[in-house]
Structure 1
Amino acid sequence: MNNTNGKALDIARSYVNAIANKDVEMILSISAEDVVCTSPIGQTKGIERFRAFHDGFARMITNLTVLAVYGDDEQAVVVYDAETHPVPHSIIAELIKVKDGKLACTNVIYDATPFASYMATVQPH
């Protein structure tokens, strides 16, 4: 992977900055209509489910620090430290693939254990 330029790298930078700024509309504007997101909580398909995924994450974030962004024209990797209401620090990596100039899929990698522990303490509405 070339870490200095490329379409996927540019999209990855825009994507992770939009996550940090809780700018869900920006995330959607660079994503394909049939975007696929796979994470420890499951897989979402389509722009509306991707919106719901990022709306929920944006509500949880208190701070996000970008640690690394590498990529080329077809794929990129972003790594960031997410400070959230339920978990003080979670290191997250995402493998992003781009097709036709849009974010086509992302594989989100993190330790879900602390989030599961938190969810066990939350009372259902």
Structure 2
Amino acid sequence: MSKTNGKAQEIARTYVEAIANRDVDTILSISAEDIVCTSPIGQTAGLERFRAFHDGFAQMITNLTILAVYGDDEQAVVVYDAETHPVPHAVTAELIKVKDGKLAVTNVIYDATPFAAYMTTVQPH
């Protein structure tokens, strides 16, 4: 993967900026109908489930700082620090793959341990 600008890098930057702005509509507008997202909490497939994933994440974010975006025409990597209500800092990386000019696959990589620890403190409804 090169560090030069490419289509995947452009989409990745738009994607991570939309996450930072909690702009789920923009995220969906650049995503393929059959988008696949894999993270430590499981895999989602399709726009509706991807929307639900990002709607939930958007509610948790208090601040997001973009640390890096690298890519070429086919894939990109974004790294960001997400400050959330449950966890003050979660450094996250996403490997993004683009197909036919749309975000097709994202593999979210982060340490879920602090989130699991937080969940032990939450009272069930």
* 1:4 aligned onto 2:4: yes
Amino acid at match of 1:29: S
**Uncovered stretches (5+) of structure 1, i.e. residues with no partner:** none
2:61 equivalent in structure 1: 61
The whole-number CA distance in structure 2 between the counterparts of 1:93 and 1:28 is: 19
Q: Secondary structure at the match of 1:49?
A: helix
Residue identity over aligned pairs, in percent, reads 84
1:101 equivalent in structure 2: 101
Q: 1:89: Cα distance to partner?
A: 0.4
The whole-number CA distance in structure 1 between the counterparts of 2:105 and 2:124 is: 31
The whole-number CA distance in structure 2 between the counterparts of 1:79 and 1:53 is: 18
2:110 equivalent in structure 1: 110
TM-score (structure 1 length as normaliser): 0.98
**Uncovered stretches (5+) of structure 2, i.e. residues with no partner:** none
Q: 1:116: Cα distance to partner?
A: 0.6
Amino acid at match of 1:109: I
Q: Secondary structure at the match of 1:121?
A: coil
The whole-number CA distance in structure 1 between the counterparts of 2:54 and 2:124 is: 21
TM-score (structure 2 length as normaliser): 0.98
2:45 equivalent in structure 1: 45
Amino acid at match of 2:117: S
Number of aligned residues: 125
Report the aligned-residue RMSD: 0.6
Q: Secondary structure at the match of 1:12?
A: helix
Amino acid at match of 1:94: E
